[in-house]
Amino acid sequence: MHSHHLDTWELPAWALEVVEEWDDAEADDEARMQLAIDLASCNIAEGTGGPFGAAVFDRVSGRLVSIGVNAVVPSNCSHAHAEMMALARAQRDLGTYDLGTAGMEHELVTSCEPCAMCLGAVPWSGVRRVVCGATDDDARAIGFDEGDRAPDWQESLQSRGIEVVTSVCRAAARDVFQQYVDADGSIYNSRES
């Protein structure tokens, strides 16, 4: 039994400072992606989880609603991915399971294309736009098992009215994976044969 572990959706203490410092409602996709990448990089540097970061923004006001970092290992929870955390925290804080309900329009910005689990959560979350940094191939290249995703996943989301933008700041997002490898980060749950 561990003396302490994170609750599934609990942010590490350092992450709260990142949120407090963010005040750029005018930020473009690249600036928002840099926030997600910074979260992933800090998560490695602080030893608090895997190389993934995500954030939910209000598309109209540009307000940062929530953030998430990968917390699989410290929380002992396989679904504590950055996207899942960011979405769950946004829903909790806004008091709704539907981030696209009347009068709301939100987007998910994630440092890497979503794995099969996170991809499945996107339509149910209600977000209307997903912005991705590193690619599925980038994550697989360092050994992560991203699960079985349909090759036409982007078109599938778009057919549901969810805009998809990929490879935003891809090189910087991919660099975080190398940072993780250099830090001897755990490649957990990798069962690809």
**Which positions are annotated as active-site residues?**
83
How far, in Å, CA of 42 to CA of 38, rounded? 6
- Residue 34 — φ and ψ, nearest 5°? -60, -35
How far, in Å, CA of 105 to CA of 73, rounded? 32
Query: CB neighbours of 178 closer than 8 A, spacing ≥ 6?
Result: 142
CB 57 within 8 A of CB 99: no
How far, in Å, CA of 53 to CA of 156, rounded? 23
